[in-house]
Structure 1
Amino acid sequence: MQNYFQSIKLFFKRFLIVLFVYQICRFLFYFFNRNAFESISAKGFLGGIHFDLSAIAYINLLFVVLHLIPGNFKYRPNYQKGLKIAFYVVNIIFILTNFVDFEYYKFTGRRSTFGMITATGMENEIGGLIFSFLMEFWYIPLLAILLAFAFWKAIPNLKNTIETSSSTLQLLKQSGLFIVLLAFVFLLGRGGIQKKPIRIVDAVNYGSINQSAIVLNTPFCILKTIGKKETLESPKFFSESELNEIFNPITQTKTSGEPNKKNVVILILESFGRENTQRGQTPFLDSLIEKSLFFENGFANGKLSIDAVPSTLSSIPSLMNNSLITSSYAINEVYALPKILKDNGYQTSFFHGAFNGSQNFDQYCKVAGFDAYYGKDEYEGPEAFDGRWGIFDEEFLQYFSGKMTQFKQPFFTTLFTISSHNPYIIPEKHKGKFPKGTTKIHESIAYSDFALQRFFETASKQDWYKNTLFVVVADHTSAEPTEDKYKTNVGKFRIPILFFDPSNPEMVGKNMKNLQQIDVMPSVLDYLNIDTKMISYGKSYQSEKDFVVYYLDNIYHYVSGDFYMAFDGKKSLGLYNFKDDELLKTNLLKTDKAQADEMERFIKAYIQSFNERLIGNKLTIQ
């Protein structure tokens, strides 16, 4: 039995070393992302151990068997050598996934899942981008190599054992211990004896709302999402009649007279968060804002580019862990803006200068009803490949303008810019021309603003220009906010949204209404005076409603008027007056119960409606 006890000690020593390495990874994660967190607490770090134990236990269940299964064969040198190598390889692979989020978290605002790690929708770009990331963030692989070396050196070996025969009684005792210890490690994996195994969403129990990423670890998030499709459940908060009374997504646009048949151009700007437009990096966009109807309280409905497209063009937010485009609901029938306008005589198209297939946008375009998709493969013009990602914005926007001149009016088209996406490449001919700013993205933001200016200069000379409504909206905020107010769960989603009609001098001014990406579709239809009935989770800019809903890190975020609420799907976590309290310091959940109850009632109905309609494929009027 002495040998067997040595094996038990060996396994748990190795287990504890892995746990210690996970703590190193957590501190490194915080160090690289410290600007994203207003404050941290010891509770968050200690709570993280709970999730570390779960991930490590699940990953090492096989090694419990290989270390502790009864029998003398496991004391042989070759077996022990192979066991150590296998233990090291499996654990270091999972450990190093944490390193992805040292930088990637800045862009996503959440720990990476299986879909993110495997780059779903980014297969064409990933080769070039990985090389760029390795060059830019060279210190990450260097740290990974050092940690991997130290981890190997720290793994203890089995001390010298004397191979002896085991009696039947000893084998029975070993079998009993084996079963008990296997059950114990499995219990660590599920997170305890509670009814349900520990989940990603449970991280909110260990700190403030925006500290979940500190509590979690990337291996845990991967394990919880690997091989799983997004499956929603109806929370059944309300009966159907109550639900429709509180929130009903069936929207009827009210018209007066005939449609005005204006062309519509939607420009989705990569990473043009609100903070980036207040630093002097975007002189052209700043000037365009002065000529437009600009929404001071504009919000994105997600933190990823792949969330922005269905939100903006289908009025459907991504209220789940996977983006709608890559979820199991991606092929649900939708009555999106391109289909509605096509039914009203519009020619429709979508432009994205990246590799064709990037982020599954081409697939979405088919579902949404676009007539044509124009990507890197379709581009015609001067050589302008950035070497990594796609066609530089300046040339692709000029190509875009030229194609519109060939379209039959009225037309509806959307373009998604790419140059202000990591790795932020500036064309050689423009190097040194734009202000560097204070973070890596700022120079590329200034370049994209210049490309936008050139587009409008060219477009303004075309005969279709004055008969066109331009909608400019960012896809999401950028990484590494520098001001504290942009680090909160409200500030992380603040983006510019504007409507510009060169033929309508009355459509100018700053509006304080809360407006989000999913409001673009009903707003455009209202402006065009098109009579239609649709499913929309947003509202028109002309509506008296004043709400915004988005989702991040397993939390629903709801803005109504001056108030912001965080809701975990079952209960409210916080209520703040975000206009008076920009840093969200004062939780009003208990002191303003009437406001809290009213907002909780709405967000419950909103979630139930969203889930039930996605589950039942009811995003169109039957």
Structure 2
Amino acid sequence: MKVHILFIFIHLFPGRFKFSITAERFSLALFLLVNGVLIVLNLIDTEYFDFTHKRSTIDLFSLAMVGNDIKHLIPMFLGDYWYLGCVWLGLMLIITALYPSEKRIFVPVFTHKNDRVFDSLLTVTILLLVFAGARGKIGEKLKVQDAVQYVSKVENIPAVLNTPFSMMESINKQALPQIEYDKLLAFNEPHSTPYHSNQLYRQSMKNVVVIILESFSAEYSKYLSGFKKGYTPFLDSLMQEGLHFTNAFANGKKSIEAVPSVFCGVPALMTNPVITSDYAGNHFASLPGILRKFGYTTAFYHGAANGSMGFENFCLHIGFDKYKGMNEYPDKSDFDGHWGISDEPFLQFFARDLDTLQQPFMSGVFTLSSHHPYKIPEKYIDTFPEGPIPMLRTIAYADYALRRFFQKAQKYDWYDNTLFVITADHTGKPYTEAFSNSLQNYRVPLLFYTPGITNLKGCDNRITQQIDILPSVLDFLGIEERLYPLGNSVFGGGESFAINYLNGIYQFVNKEYIIQYDGEKPVGLYNWTGDNSLNNNLVGDLPEKAGLLTDNTVHHIADYIYRMSADDWFIKTDNTSTEFYTFNENY
């Protein structure tokens, strides 16, 4: 209703203007323009929803403007989703045909002053009712979170929303999550505790290589999913050689949200990604920045165009010495025509380039082939299985590229002295019902592997998440630093949990339960160990348990708000900060 307020006002404007041909033609043009845009936004989400599992918000446009991806993506989207253009055109023709034609049946003549007064009062009254109706309910503005009242599961929230409403609600939404003031006040002391190393391997000064695999869901792994067929045979075999976690979760649903989570330990608990938010310039306690202090050379690699998703500036800001993307890749013939350099050749380049870095080094690489439009090099078209959905072929190709990387890396002397951390940025599109709920939509691989260390091996069922990687690597290396991590080391005895945020709902997972919190009250409680499909909501049956888990969730949210807003990530001693490397202050 809000978007049609001008259209409504024209038809209620006091006087005879609204009955003119000019007013009617302008109204028609305005009606078609506004509805044309609204229909486009909804049609975008008919496809984009498969990747994000939420209605798009205003950050869709900020993401599109980051870097130079948009000039390559628009032609690709127009080509791949041409049928949506046909649907849009058909709908526009229908609403045009249904719009009342111009008819001059009755034009009132105001013969008395009272007629004009009555007309004006009627206009004001109707406009007030329209404004009240646009709020959604009397006394309080309708919010995205209110949708939870009309669904049985939070993953169904998008079904009762529409994209234009979600976008308008997110325009003026504050970046940081909002919780009740009294609850925030109750947790005025920081929740996160100082990090302490267990001094496992400090003497080794091992290299660290963090590999982020695009859209690798646990569902695609035969080993993690328990299915008879999988699409990641090499990753599955490597998990048997290292320490892997069967209940690892991503902290976001977008690629742009993964880099802060993995390298800075900052989960995606805002509507906007950290990289495009007002907090992107925070002095984060990052993995590359900390290791740089201890003499590590640091570098980040991503096969997309430099600047894609804001990775280059952000990575340089948080302490990476170098960023190497498509601009630095020597053979542009390996460009996939859409996103960047195909995974196999780029990971070969990555392995070779690591050999040029001074040891010890800390490096990160982000793959890209297992992303829409799921294109792999022509020579492999008949090599990898298609599977139930198109992206599984590219998952198998990316897994093969990972195998080839390790085959290459084994030839260099730095290989045996390296800790490899492998995870995914987020999950991909599910192809089974078992992995379609709000719990499984975040399950990703997490593996710590280093050649020759026998005690870094095995299967661990505890709850882990991306933000645990930062303290875990420091713990593995035995590096003692004065910082407050939001996650916990997998090698320590800290709290085992995972937290994420989607469609206005915070989700907190511990070893037995999952609590879903809308910012005011718990809306879902499930014993996921016995109810993996989340069919039995216990929030009404176990109010005490729901209350305790809600308080714990709020505690973590409050700590996140404090850390982000105060830019306070390090323990300070004698009023001096322990920040220890130069940030890119222009970020």
Bin for the TM-score computed over the shorter chain: over 0.9
Other-structure match for 1:188: 133
Other-structure match for 2:52: 108
Distance in 2, matches of 1:187 and 1:443, equals 51
Aligned with 2:437 (options 467, 488, 509): 488
Deviation at 1:349, TM superposition (A): 0.9
Deviation at 1:323, TM superposition (A): 1.0
Other-structure match for 1:417: 367
Other-structure match for 1:618: 568
Deviation at 1:594, TM superposition (A): 4.0
Where 1:586 maps in the other structure, the secondary structure is coil
Deviation at 1:163, TM superposition (A): 4.4
The code of the aligned residue for 2:447 comes to L
Does 314-323 or 541-550 show the bigger shift? 541-550
Where 1:533 maps in the other structure, the secondary structure is coil
The code of the aligned residue for 2:452 comes to S
The code of the aligned residue for 2:316 comes to K
Q: Is residue 2:469 matched to residue 1:524?
A: no
The code of the aligned residue for 1:187 comes to A
Other-structure match for 2:19: 75
Distance 1:347 1:257, change over 3 A: closer
8 Å CA contact 1:121, 1:358 repeated in 2: no
Q: Is residue 2:212 matched to residue 1:268?
A: yes
Deviation at 1:87, TM superposition (A): 1.5
Distance in 2, matches of 1:249 and 1:144, equals 53
Other-structure match for 1:573: 523
Distance in 1, matches of 2:61 and 2:7, equals 24
Deviation at 1:229, TM superposition (A): 5.7
8 Å CA contact 1:522, 1:536 repeated in 2: yes
Q: 1:136-155: CA deviations, max 9, x gaps?
A: 33322221111111111111
Other-structure match for 1:248: 192
The code of the aligned residue for 2:50 comes to K
The code of the aligned residue for 1:366 comes to L
The code of the aligned residue for 1:327 comes to S
8 Å CA contact 1:257, 1:529 repeated in 2: yes
Deviation at 1:226, TM superposition (A): 3.0
Counterparts in 2 of 1:301-320, with a 5 A limit?
301-320=251-270
Counterparts in 2 of 1:120-519, with a 5 A limit?
120-163=64-107, 165-167=109-111, 168-194=113-139, 196-208=140-152, 209-226=154-171, 230-233=175-178, 235-237=180-182, 244=189, 247-255=191-199, 258-278=202-222, 279-381=229-331, 383-479=333-429, 481-519=430-468
Distance in 1, matches of 2:107 and 2:185, equals 70
Distance 1:76 1:565, change over 3 A: same
8 Å CA contact 1:335, 1:620 repeated in 2: yes
Does 71-80 or 311-320 show the bigger shift? 71-80
Where 2:464 maps in the other structure, the secondary structure is strand
8 Å CA contact 2:263, 2:469 repeated in 1: yes
Distance 1:241 1:467, change over 3 A: farther
Does 73-82 or 458-467 show the bigger shift? 73-82
Distance 1:568 1:233, change over 3 A: closer
Deviation at 1:58, TM superposition (A): 0.5
Where 1:418 maps in the other structure, the secondary structure is coil
Where 1:620 maps in the other structure, the secondary structure is coil
Task: Please list every run of 5 or more consecutive structure 2 residues that lacks an aligned counterpart in the other structure.
Answer: 223-228, 573-587
Counterparts in 2 of 1:546-565, with a 5 A limit?
546-565=496-515
Where 1:63 maps in the other structure, the secondary structure is helix
Other-structure match for 2:487: 538
- Structure with the largest fraction of helix: 1
* Matched-pair identity in %: 37
Where 1:351 maps in the other structure, the secondary structure is strand
Q: 1:291-344: CA deviations, max 9, x gaps?
A: 111101111001111111100111110111111111111111111111100011
Task: Please list every run of 5 or more consecutive structure 1 residues that lacks an aligned counterpart in the other structure.
Answer: 1-56
Q: 1:23-80: CA deviations, max 9, x gaps?
A: xxxxxxxxxxxxxxxxxxxxxxxxxxxxxxxxxx100111122111012233222331
Q: 1:462-507: CA deviations, max 9, x gaps?
A: 010000000000111102x122221111010010100110121221
Distance in 2, matches of 1:350 and 1:610, equals 26
Distance in 1, matches of 2:177 and 2:151, equals 26
Computed over aligned residues only, the root mean square deviation of the Cα atoms, in angstroms, reads 1.9
The code of the aligned residue for 2:30 comes to A
8 Å CA contact 1:237, 1:604 repeated in 2: no
Distance in 2, matches of 1:618 and 1:155, equals 57
8 Å CA contact 1:98, 1:219 repeated in 2: yes
Other-structure match for 1:62: 6
Deviation at 1:181, TM superposition (A): 1.0
The code of the aligned residue for 1:205 comes to Q
Deviation at 1:535, TM superposition (A): 2.2
The number of equivalent residue pairs is 563
8 Å CA contact 1:253, 1:533 repeated in 2: no
Distance 1:506 1:386, change over 3 A: same
